[in-house]
Structure 1
């Protein structure tokens, strides 16, 4: 397996906030791939992209500090659980409207983290 050296350096030197942003970027790309696969009736491609997206959402969810994160951590947990549940529905029903809504949520969250990064 070969890695893009630029991407490898970007990940290795990223701050925790930048890691979160990179994860959001990757999951958004994967969900856009899901949309493309649904449009092309590529069932296996859709499933593969959903599984990868689900793993990233689980990583984000598992990284939440529920003891110190307060309402922000609780709200993010609720959103991640909603997204995970939505991925099941999207997979079963090819629901592109719900998929679009999930992508919008993730893009909004990413923008929020980018705002945090710019203030730090």
Structure 2
């Protein structure tokens, strides 16, 4: 891919992030995570194992960031449940790294897509 295109994408992302609300930032992280999961699927199908490893690392980093952003003092049980779900997804992605299971990847992608939609709905409330 062209470096200019990648540079433009990075600038666009920085611009959107600088003006985003906290909920919009979380949705942006989920969008990036879901995009990377799609890339991971392609790497698994093509048997590009080095690229697969990089994609899994990126996904784990985003999940760690989402988990770290949770506020356990003000979120109560919801935050604890989200944290457990993020950790579960991380564990499943580690399993995908070893087993190359498309079914496990599908499960993780489905869970995270549902969470993304939930965050999107929370952010769109007046």
Superposition TM-score tier, normalisation by shorter sequence: over 0.9
What is the CA–CA distance in structure 1 between the aligned matches of 2:12 and 2:49, rounded to whole Å? 32
Q: Give 1:2 deviation, angstroms.
A: 3.0
Residue 14 (1) aligns with residue 28 (2): no
Residue 105 (1) aligns with residue 108 (2): no
Which of these residues, 41, 44, 57, is aligned with residue 47 of structure 2? 41
TM-score, structure 2 length as denominator?
Answer: 0.91
- Aligned runs of 1:69-108 on 2, under 5 Å? 69-108=75-114
What is the CA–CA distance in structure 1 between the aligned matches of 2:39 and 2:71, rounded to whole Å? 30
What is the CA–CA distance in structure 2 between the aligned matches of 1:74 and 1:101, rounded to whole Å? 20
CA RMSD of aligned residues (A): 1.2
TM-score, structure 1 length as denominator?
Answer: 0.95
What is the CA–CA distance in structure 1 between the aligned matches of 2:8 and 2:102, rounded to whole Å? 31
What is the CA–CA distance in structure 2 between the aligned matches of 1:106 and 1:27, rounded to whole Å? 8
Structure 2 spans left out of the alignment, 5+ residues: 1-5
Greater helix fraction, Structure 1 or Structure 2: 2
Partner of 1:54: 60
Runs of 4+ residues over 4 Å off in structure 1? none
